[in-house]
Each structure stands twice: as structure tokens, then as C-alpha cells.
Chains A and B, each alone.
Chain A
């Protein structure tokens, strides 16, 4: 009897414990999810309300509902296009097989499918382009920033150039980059498309600067004591950079890279739009020119996608920083 009572008490204890645990989980979930969700909900309602009251020559301004419909439509379109492509290749293969069966020496041609690029294709192209441009920028900007941070003289001589080019709009660079790429990138078997290179270089030119500047600041603000340790040990410059400068400056380097990537992503859309280079920017422009009653909704899908991808890219950089940085306790925002 007493045993039973003990078990009963115990079970109750367990139950109470798990309830309190659950409620604490619920509280954290509430804090991390409820507020952002509430914010999004209110925003969607406002958006719909405002959209209902704006009429354009292409119909009503798209609210969240229309955008949702259009995004489903775009996905379906993508699937249809893929099916068409698959069917095309299937037909081609069958035809070639038939021809080879009749005459084994026959020359068979394999053509690639030339259907219209879908929304998802454009997203992939844009991501690929921005990564390439960002990579070029980082490879140049981080070493340049380190050198500027280490040497006051280099900084003094490079700074005016940085400050002059930093505020230049991507659209100003675009014609120049286009002409230079066409003039210099002349091969019979191009590894990259010219449009791709033009967009990527324009992105690179615009997202160099935040990384250069932040890296420079990061390197100049290294703890004096650590620099003195390096001097006492007479560390060679490369070891000094590897062991002391880079680990110290990592947070600032990443801050710069995150700003750069965000800039690059913005620049890319504008460049694609203006130069009609494949990507999300071109998608938006094409829809605008198309001018159907769906166009505004589809553009809005692109706008939301651009925002979400930008957000995602920033998170990716944070994850990368967390992996690379020595300070696992640091709170990154």
C-alpha cells in the first residue's frame, strides 16, 4: 500500500516535472516564434488591405493571396517546362537510335533544349552569378584589406581610391564592364557566357568595398599586446598574418563579407534588369514588358523571393562564420 502510494507520488512528480518542462519549452517557442509570426500576420493583413485599394493599368496591385497563387503558377510552369524538355530529349534519342539502326555510320546530332528559362531557372542563375562575383570580390578584398590594415603607408595611398570607387552605382559600371568583357573574353569555346561574366564582374566591383574597409579596420584594431608578442617572437610576416592578424580580424572580415554579399545581391538584380542578362532581374523586366494581368503578381513573387534569398544568404554567412571563427561563444547577429 505504501509502495503504491510512493509510486503514485513519484509518477505525479514525473508528470509535474514534464509539465513544467513543457511549459518552459512552450514559453521559449512562444518568444521565438509567436512575436515574429504575429508581426508577419499583421503585415500580410495590412498589405492585402492596401493592395485592394490600388488599381493599376495592369489590374489590381497584388496582395498576399494573389502572390501565393502566382507562385504556385510559376512552380507549375517550371514543372511543365521540365516535362517538355524531358520529352524533347526522349524524342531526340529515339530518332537518333532509329537512324543509327538504319545506318551505323550516320552522323547524329544532339541538340540541347531551347525552351524558355523558368522562374526557378532564373533564381538558380542569379544565385550562381552572385556567388561567383562575391567570390572574386572576397579573394581580392580580404588580402587587400589585410595589407591596408598592416601598413599605414599602403592605407594612405589606397584609401582615396577606395573612397572614390565605393559610392559608384553598379549601373555606371555596367556598360564599361560589358564592353571590356566583349573585347577581352574572346574564345571559341567559352567556359562562361559573356552575360554571366558581365553580371559577375559588376557584382564584384560593387561588393569589394565593404569587405576591404571592414577588414582594414579589423586588422588595425588588433590588441597591441598581441602585436608585441609577435614582435618579441620575431614572427615572419606570413606567420604573423596567419596566427595573429586573421584570427583577430575574423569577426570584422565577416561583417564586411556579409555587407558585401547583401550589396552584391542588390546590385545583381539591377544589373540583370538593365543588361537583360539571365537571372531574376531579367525575369522582372520581362514580366513588366509582358504586361499581362498576372505580371504584377509574378513580379511580386520575384520581390519576395529576392528578399528571402538575401536573408538566407546572410544566415549562411553567419553559419560559415560560426564554423570558422575560434570564438564559439560569441553572439553573432
Chain B
């Protein structure tokens, strides 16, 4: 049998805490084919971002490993570009220079100056940002910043594009625009994408597969849903499409029935909660980037699982 393009093999991770170590992930096992668009969905604090960070090489798994095109991932690298929730553009560089930093690094041996220039402009025009090349990130809107963040990653020609709630901090209209742009780019480039999301509609609209994660601690994959909607997809047409509604229903059922939101179930005065928050610190430094207050109560469901 042919090896999968990206194999996430039985990964688990434990974070050191003051007390007993906190197990965030347990036995996450997933294979992804080239060109697939995969969404990770789950409640806050279930370790979605941790999975992404392990694939990116930013965290090291306690057990198991990630294999990309037959090679084990052991450190971060430009072949696994990450789109961060809060764009993570360098505020002192212009839009152009931000992309240039990545392009210079990745293509320093294969492209000359003129080719690099062309490549930077090409990628920025893919995300419709070619009108603001010489603006600083502080001078453009949040949606535009995220477009540049995506362009920076696309320009690296990654084997896998990792997106950590890329549209989470944007308003609904901007989000829809960017989703459409992303679909357009995905159609033309055929990238392999792993995206974390909270948004069920977004997951169904964009993904070939939706990976639903159980609640932590020791979170793992609960169900995988194959979305077999034809592409190109149109959000207006799909809104009343029976298949779309069905897929949507399945994800909602998983999230709100099988894996009830721990925050609703638990009282905020739970004594285990404090320990829990300490325990989650190493993960949450990246997991809970600012801008998403809903994620504040990270993993307050320890007692429930135990």
C-alpha cells in the first residue's frame, strides 16, 4: 500500500506542571493525502492547536510522531508553513517585506532577485493585496493582515499549509471574503491544508474531511467526516443544499450532543479548575492567542473525564 502524504502516527503529549504532568493529547492518529483540505474542529482547549503545533514542529510530541513525505518531522521548517490566528506579521516590515523575508529564506538558492520580486508580487496578488505592497501592517485592516499572513505562507510553497483559526479574529463579512479567497487559491494551487476552526459552517464549506476531536484532557480524534460536496462550492447555493445541511448537522451533533461543551456543564467554582488552568499553561500560550474570549476557560473538564 502507498504511504500517505502526511501521517500523524499515534501522537500524545504531556506538559510538565507543578503537580502531576498534564496529558493534553492521547493517541491521535490521522493520515492525510496530498491536496486534501482537512479541518480540525472541537471545543476550546481540546488540543487542536497542540496537534497543529506538533505537525509544525513547534512542539515535540511525548510519544508517536509525524511523517511528511516519508520523513519524520523533528523541527519547524518552511515546508510546513503556519498561518497564525493573529497574522503574526512583523509590524516593522511592510507587506512586501514581510513576504520577502519568507521568500528570501526559502528560495535563496533557487531564485534570483527578479524572480523573487515577481514571486512576492504574484503571491500578494493571489490574496488581492497587490495594491498595498508598501504599507505597514499597522496601516491595514485585520482582514488584510490575515491575507498577507496567508500570502507569506503560500509564498513558501509549503508541502502542508497549517492554519490555526486563521479567520477566528475577523468579523463575519471579512471572514466570508477570506474563505472565498482561500477556496479560490486552493482550487488553483491544490495545497494540502490543515485548518483549525470553531466554525461549523466554515469547516463544511472548505473541507474535504472534518476531523472532530473529543474533549480533553487526553483528547483524541472522535469522528472523521468526509465531505463529498462537489467543488467549486458556492456558499449561497450550499445554504439550502440538503447534503450541506446534513454534513453540518452531523458536526453539530458531535459537538453539542456527543461532546457537550464542558463550559456549560461545569460550575465556574470548581476547585479542580484552578489546577487545570495551571496545567494548561504550556499549551495555552499559543493555543489561546488573544482575541477569542470564548476560549478563556481552557479545559475545565478534567474531573468530568476522570
Contacts and interface: CB of A to CB of B under 8 A. Distances in A.
Interface of A: 223-226, 228-229, 231-235, 243-244, 247, 326-327, 329
A228 B86 CA distance: 12
Contact of B76 (A225, A231, A326): A231
B53 to A, nearest CB: 8
Contacts of B102: 233
Nearest to A229: B88
Given A231-B58, A234-B76, A329-B138, A226 B105 contact: no
A243 B93 CA distance: 9
Interface stretch (B77-85, B168-176, B178-186, B224-232): B77-85
Contacts of A229: 82, 84, 88, 90
A232 B81 contact: yes
A244 B90 contact: yes
Contacts of A226: 88, 90
Nearest to B285: A224
B86 A247 contact: no
Contacts of B75: 231, 234
B105 A225 contact: no
Contacts of A234: 75-78, 105
A228 B57 CA distance: 10
B90 A232 contact: no
A229 B91 CA distance: 13
Given A233-B105, A247-B92, A326-B91, A225 B289 contact: yes
B148 interface: no
A232 B286 contact: no
B88 A327 contact: no
A232 B153 CA distance: 10
Contact of A225 (B88, B92, B156): B88
B124 interface: no
B56 interface: yes
B86 A225 contact: yes
A326 B280 CA distance: 35
Contacts of A329: 138
Given A228-B286, A232-B81, A326 B105 contact: no
Nearest to A329: B138
B279 to A, nearest CB: 19
A327 B289 CA distance: 23
Contacts of B81: 232
A223 B101 contact: no
Contacts of B92: 247, 326-327
Nearest to B139: A329
A310 B204 CA distance: 64
28 contacts: A223-B88, A224-B285, A225-B84, A225-B86, A225-B88, A225-B286, A226-B88, A228-B76, A228-B82, A228-B84, A228-B286, A229-B84, A231-B57, A231-B58, A232-B56, A232-B76, A232-B77, A232-B78, A233-B101, A233-B106, A233-B156, A234-B75, A234-B77, A243-B90, A243-B93, A244-B90, A247-B92, A326-B91
Contacts of A228: 56, 58, 76, 82, 84, 88, 286
Interface string B90-102: 1111000000011
Interface string B40-70: 0000000000000000111000000000000
A236 to B, nearest CB: 9
Nearest to B106: A233
A232 B75 CA distance: 8
Contacts of A231: 57-58, 75-76
Closest 10 CB pairs of A and B: A326-B92, A225-B88, A231-B76, A247-B92, A233-B105, A232-B76, A225-B84, A229-B88, A232-B82, A228-B58
A228 B102 CA distance: 13
A327 B195 CA distance: 32
Contacts of B289: 225
A232 to B, nearest CB: 5
A129 B161 CA distance: 56
A23 B281 CA distance: 56
Nearest to A235: B105
Given A232-B76, A233-B156, A247-B92, 17 more contacts: A225-B84, A225-B286, A228-B58, A228-B76, A229-B88, A231-B58, A232-B78, A232-B80, A233-B105, A233-B106, A234-B76, A234-B105, A243-B90, A243-B93, A244-B90, A326-B92, A327-B91
